[in-house]
């Protein structure tokens, strides 16, 4: 979403430049009684004064614009997963770790436990206050081994022990 | 920049919703004080434009140029890494005192552009940033390092993007970064007012060289 926002903003910037310069150029052309440079302004004008709000097209376009606005609003206001997670900071130094990297490192560590498969690591919370949840397929008696593997990965990533860690194991299906 | 973009698109979303709702309400004749039989543009607009031609033209030109300038600023912010401008080249030293009429660079500005003079050292920004990048890359735990220095020269802000090797210990990396920054300060004279480190660890097998 952040990348999409950035691309959309860059496109908006380009649109503003083109439309702004074109509007200024058309205004100059109109002042000099020249024909419009690019835009069929006369046709637009004639059409807009002939179209009333009662027109069905106006209603449909209004609904379309409103729905588009709602989609934009929802996409911006819903909660985004943090891309970076805050680590312990020092005086003037702020440390952050990429969430994907943390998930990958913890999952890789958990998968080294013999018999434990398909580890899935999720991060819950905000960028500044977060916790880790590990789910994997394994026997219930491996819970401590998985927890210890996950914690050792977190410790290597300099994540303090105060950061929550929840481990859930599901019993692997037996192949008959 | 992410927050700025989010605010920008939230405002655009609100405007679009408002526009859509008002348009639909007028079209359905549910808007008090509005007549759905009125046209989208009033027919007298052309006459009004002709009556006010000079001012109207000037107004459109000003608004158009304003929109274009905003577009340039927006595009520039999006194309810049992290939406910020990096530090200028570092300039230190004074203009030569022995030349007649020459004054130290620290004196009041004379309005004259400072010409090339003996004793002035200019260090390119890229060289400063790359020196720190190279130092960080020489650390065992670091595979890739990207440095951006912004803010003012007397209060520089350093942004570090580090990719650590598989199996790297970030506590060790912290020490390495701190040491590299100390060397950076000793070499360049820049004391970072703030440092932001964005780290990630590469996936893969730990390679051990004995």
Residue range A124-135, pLDDT digits in tens: 999 889 999 999
B2: nearest CA in chain A?
A: A2
Q: What is the strand order of the sheet B194-201 is part of?
A: A84-86, A93-98, B194-201, B155-164, B142-152
Taking the C-alpha atoms of residue A165 and residue A122, their distance in angstroms, rounded to an integer, is 10
Please state the length of chain A.
176
Whether B80 and chain A come into contact, CB under 8 Å, resolves to no
Over chain B, what is the mean pLDDT?
Answer: 84
Residue A162 CA to residue A131 CA, distance in Å, equals 9
DSSP state letter for A142: G
Q: Please report where in the chains the tokens 């230190």 appear, as a residue.
A: B92
In this prediction, residues A106-134 reach a mean pLDDT of 93
B184 to chain A: which residues are within 8 Å by CB? none
Min distance B15 CA to chain A CA atoms (Å): 7
Cα A93 from Cα A154, distance rounded (Å)? 20
Cβ–Cβ under 8 Å, residues A149 and A121: no
Per-residue pLDDT tens over the stretch A32-81: 888 888 889 889 999 999 999 999 999 999 999 999 999 999 999 988 88
Q: Which of B151, B158, B145 is nearest to B185 (CA)?
A: B158
pLDDT in tens, B120-148: 888 888 898 999 999 999 988 899 999 99
Q: Does position B83 have pLDDT exceeding 80, yes or no?
A: no
> Residue B42 has what pLDDT?
86
Task: Give residue B3's pLDDT.
Answer: 86
For the whole prediction, is pTM greater than 0.80?
Answer: no
């Amino acid at each position: 979403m952040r990348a999409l926002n950035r691309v959309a903003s860059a496109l908006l910037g380009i649109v503003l430049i083109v439309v702004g310069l074109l509007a200024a150029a058309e205004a100059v052309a109109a002042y000099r009684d020249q024909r419009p440079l690019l835009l069929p302004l006369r046709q637009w004008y004639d059409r807009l004064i002939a179209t009333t709000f009662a027109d069905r097209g106006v209603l449909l376009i209004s609904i379309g614009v409103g729905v588009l606005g709602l989609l934009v609003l929802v996409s911006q206001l819903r909660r985004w997963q943090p891309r970076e997670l805050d680590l312990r900071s020092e005086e003037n130094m702020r440390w952050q770790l990429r969430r994907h990297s943390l998930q990958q490192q913890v999952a890789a560590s958990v998968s080294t436990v013999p018999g434990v498969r398909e580890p899935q690591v999720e991060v819950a919370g905000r960028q500044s206050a977060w916790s880790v949840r590990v789910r994997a397929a394994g026997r219930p008696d491996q819970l401590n081994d998985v927890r210890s593997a996950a914690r050792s990965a977190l410790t290597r990533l300099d994540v303090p022990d105060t950061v929550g860690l929840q481990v859930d194991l599901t019993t692997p299906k037996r192949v008959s | 920049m992410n927050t700025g973009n989010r605010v920008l698109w939230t405002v655009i979303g609100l405007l679009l919703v408002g526009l859509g709702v008002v348009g639909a309400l007028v079209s359905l004749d549910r808007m008090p004080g509005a007549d759905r039989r009125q046209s989208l543009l009033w027919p007298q607009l052309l006459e009004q434009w002709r009556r006010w031609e000079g001012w109207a033209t000037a107004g459109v030109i000003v608004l158009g140029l304003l929109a274009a300038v905003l577009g340039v600023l927006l595009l520039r912010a999006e194309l810049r890494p992290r939406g910020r401008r990096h530090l200028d080249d570092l300039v230190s030293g004074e203009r030569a005192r022995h030349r007649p009429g020459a004054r130290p660079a620290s004196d009041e500005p004379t309005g004259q552009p400072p010409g090339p003079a003996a004793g002035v050292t200019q260090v390119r920004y890229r060289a400063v940033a790359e020196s720190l990048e190279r130092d960080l890359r020489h650390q065992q735990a670091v595979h890739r390092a990207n440095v951006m220095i912004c803010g003012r020269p007397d209060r520089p802000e350093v942004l570090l993007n580090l990719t650590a090797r598989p199996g790297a210990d970030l506590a060790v990396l912290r020490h390495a970064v701190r040491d590299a920054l100390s060397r950076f300060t000793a070499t360049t004279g820049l004391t970072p007012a703030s440092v932001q480190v964005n780290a990630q660890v590469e996936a893969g097998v730990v390679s051990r060289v004995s």
